[in-house]
Structure 1
Amino acid sequence: MTLAYSPNAAALLTATAAALLTALIVPVVRRLGLRWGLVDPPDDRKQHTLPMVRLGGVGIVAGFSLSLACTWAFGGFAELPPDKDQLIWTTLAGALCFFVIGLADDLFALPPLPRLCGQVLVAAAVWNQGVRIGSIDLPFGLGTSAAGLPLPEGLSLLATVVWLVGITNAINWLDGLDGLAAGVSGIAAVGLLSVSFSLSQPAAGLLAAALAGSCLGFLRHNFNPARIFMGDGGSYFLGFALAAISIVGPAKRLTSVSLLLPLMILSLPLADMSAVIMGRLRAGRSPFYPDRRHLHHRLLRAGFSHRRTVVLIYAFTQWLASIALVLANAEMRFLWLALATAVLIAVLVVCRRQMQEEAK
């Protein structure tokens, strides 16, 4: 059975299927995790006070994969050229490999170096299969051809591996509060979905739709107070998927606009990771040393509640994604969305200050 192909309809079908499937599968995963004792105990660095199942990534992966399978079964990929079709399955395979690395860490507490080595190897394998940053457009028409200036193989490999591994770990490090990583990833996925379609990249758009739906379905069970955590398996999967989608779509060629869009959409977790690494290095510690330097920890110490901290970071991410959409589409509706989000951020900050003054 196939449907008349429409990119918008295929994206809607994919996102809806992903949300429903994830929302239905996650409670099953939680029950099994409780039965088998696969829980994350509380400690001084964590926010939860009760043991929590941290295998929610299984539900995210299942919802994402099954939704793409449904889209394929109904002919959603029918109009894609074979090379784009292959990129979808290569991205899915790479994301599954990253998920396995994270799941192994959830179950066996792997040291940081083996995890990093595994991520680099998978990213290199994905690059070898065509998910790569392959060329760069120079400003002022200095590119050698309409296809841009091809990057040397070594430089292309380095740029792709750094991009994939960097964003993956940025999302992983953001996963410190209920619903934070899933919400930020969902907002970023919606931004990549819009940008991909505006740049005529339907393959990336379908992947982003599946990811956005999976995040929405998982938030049903993960928003504060959370009933389940995604674990490193889930955050690695989301991070790699976001990074790979941006390569398959907007950033496949490094142009002044296409590279800027995913960078803007994902700039908050990237900036947070960079600041944390620099702070740890200045303190003479390993970049992987666990501490409370992350943005969400700082907002909590500033007096924001758990939920307000999460909503504020959501708002910042939405604001950055809206600006990226303005650059990609030059449409006023996205400019108004950016302005409305900026007003929301201001209201949250002002309300917090008023509460602090009243408390004094």
Structure 2
Amino acid sequence: MLYGIAAATTALLFAALLTALLRAPALRLGVVDRRRQRPVPLLGGAAVVLATCLVVAAGSWLGVAPLGDGMGPLLAAGAAVAALGLVADLRRVKARFLLGGTAVAAACVVPYDETGVPAGLLAVAWIVLVAVGFKSLDHADGLAGAVGVVTAFGVGACAAAEVMDGLAAMLSVLAAALTGFLMHNWHPARIALGACGSLFVGFVLASAAVLTRAGHEVASSAGVLFALTAAACADLVLVALSRRLAGRPLLRGGPDHLAHRLRRIGLTPRGATVLLGAGAFCGVLVGVLGHVGWTGGTGPLWVAGVALAVVLGLLRVRVYGPRRPPVHPLRAPAPTASHTASVQVRG
């Protein structure tokens, strides 16, 4: 108990300090997100990764909180995913390399002896989906961090219910590190997670959730896992449907995420983040109650129904501008009436 409090406090302070220190180098090196209204540095995720990994490793090295079964590979795979995301922050990396690298890391942490190969492969795909979903949530100030904190506490509660104390302690350290980062990421954000931090957070949370549900029935596990990560999944589904219906490339960025659409209908940036964080908390709460058997199988169905209603409702919010007709490169545009009149006057 005392170690958990000390470790969480250390991670919070270390992440807050390191995030502040990394902001200036990120600006100097041009490691910024230019898709927002103003350039935002992207090295905040590196602070979260370092704080989490160093505090957990120190606890294991000192012998006060040894890494349990599967935690060592999980932390190493998460660090590898974070390194891949850092490369993507520093230079342009194709999406298939990010997805492939994350999938390889996920394949190394899934306990196939408890899940079986078919369910294990589905778990790999789901871990990749959640990791990408958290990367997608980094589009708004404070959103990925807030959802990450809520989800970390929820998955940690599930781990504690399975008497996986080491995993629960690691998730509490991650939640504390994200809280320290949020001191600098709340609107108006002075730094963002970037691919490094968002992929790491999503990967660790999804992998930890899979470890806690290993050995349970597949259908019920799918419901619990979805409820724990409903916000990230809803954002991915909304973006995919929106771009598909609009005929836009799936990998082209745009102001079509959850927070973007909520701001279109009148919410403030902070209001959108608080509302989505509250929605994530409700989903996580249902997932935890479903994991301990208090809600049966109906709870995740309610979460799925609400998420689907939100997605369908926000799809009606217009976020794309009018499409311009293509201009043939060999054809000059027809002269307008004003242009013809000016030519006549000059003649």
TM bucket, shorter chain: 0.7 to 0.9
| C-alpha separation in 1, matches of 2:235 and 2:73 | 29
- The reply on whether 1:312 has 2:275 as its aligned counterpart is yes
Q: What code does the residue aligned with 1:59 have? A: A
- The residue that corresponds to 2:181 in the other structure is 218
In the superposition, relative to structure 1, how do residues 280 and 39 fare at CA in structure 2: closer, same or farther (>3 Å)?
A: closer
Equivalent runs, 1:103-114 vs 2, <5 Å: 103-114=86-97
Q: Which runs of 5+ in 2 are unaligned?
A: 296-347
Does structure 2 retain, via aligned residues, the 8 Å contact 1:276–1:294? yes
- The residue that corresponds to 1:283 in the other structure is 246
Q: CA deviation at 1:194?
A: 1.2
Does structure 2 retain, via aligned residues, the 8 Å contact 1:11–1:209? yes
**What is the Cα-based RMSD across aligned positions, in Å?**
2.3
In the superposition, relative to structure 1, how do residues 52 and 275 fare at CA in structure 2: closer, same or farther (>3 Å)?
A: closer
| C-alpha separation in 2, matches of 1:303 and 1:236 | 30
Does structure 1 retain, via aligned residues, the 8 Å contact 2:138–2:192? no
| C-alpha separation in 2, matches of 1:118 and 1:255 | 25
- The residue that corresponds to 1:70 in the other structure is 58
Identity %: 29
Q: What code does the residue aligned with 2:26 have? A: G
Equivalent runs, 1:1-360 vs 2, <5 Å: 8-41=1-34, 43=35, 46=36, 48-49=37-38, 51-78=39-66, 84-85=68-69, 87-124=70-107, 126-127=108-109, 131-132=110-111, 134-135=113-114, 151=116, 153=117, 155-251=118-214, 253-255=216-218, 257-329=220-292
Q: Which runs of 5+ in 1 are unaligned?
A: 1-7, 136-149, 333-360
SS of equivalent residue, structure 2 residue 256: coil
Does structure 1 retain, via aligned residues, the 8 Å contact 2:106–2:207? no
Deviations 1:191-225 (A, max 9, x none): 11112112222232122112111111100111111
| C-alpha separation in 1, matches of 2:112 and 2:217 | 7
Q: Which of the pair has more CA radius of gyration?
A: 2
Number of positions where the alignment pairs a residue of Structure 1 with one of Structure 2? 295
| C-alpha separation in 1, matches of 2:59 and 2:260 | 39
- The residue that corresponds to 1:335 in the other structure is none
Q: CA deviation at 1:252?
A: 5.4
- 186-195 vs 274-283, greater mean Cα deviation: 274-283
Does structure 2 retain, via aligned residues, the 8 Å contact 1:250–1:259? no
| C-alpha separation in 2, matches of 1:77 and 1:109 | 38
Q: TM-score if structure 2 supplies the norm length?
A: 0.78
Deviations 1:140-180 (A, max 9, x none): xxxxxxxxxx62x3x24421320211100011111111111
Q: TM-score if structure 1 supplies the norm length?
A: 0.75
Does structure 1 retain, via aligned residues, the 8 Å contact 2:134–2:202? yes
SS of equivalent residue, structure 1 residue 200: coil
Q: What code does the residue aligned with 2:173 have? A: A
In the superposition, relative to structure 1, how do residues 120 and 323 fare at CA in structure 2: closer, same or farther (>3 Å)?
A: closer
Deviations 1:293-336 (A, max 9, x none): 2111110111000000000011111112222333345789xxxx
In the superposition, relative to structure 1, how do residues 242 and 248 fare at CA in structure 2: closer, same or farther (>3 Å)?
A: same
| C-alpha separation in 1, matches of 2:156 and 2:82 | 22
Q: CA deviation at 1:260?
A: 3.1
| C-alpha separation in 2, matches of 1:12 and 1:329 | 25
- 155-164 vs 251-260, greater mean Cα deviation: 251-260
Deviations 1:109-156 (A, max 9, x none): 1122222222223323x14xxx33554xxxxxxxxxxxxxx62x3x24
In the superposition, relative to structure 1, how do residues 168 and 28 fare at CA in structure 2: closer, same or farther (>3 Å)?
A: same
| C-alpha separation in 1, matches of 2:24 and 2:86 | 17
Does structure 2 retain, via aligned residues, the 8 Å contact 1:13–1:71? no
| C-alpha separation in 2, matches of 1:107 and 1:175 | 16
In the superposition, relative to structure 1, how do residues 273 and 116 fare at CA in structure 2: closer, same or farther (>3 Å)?
A: same
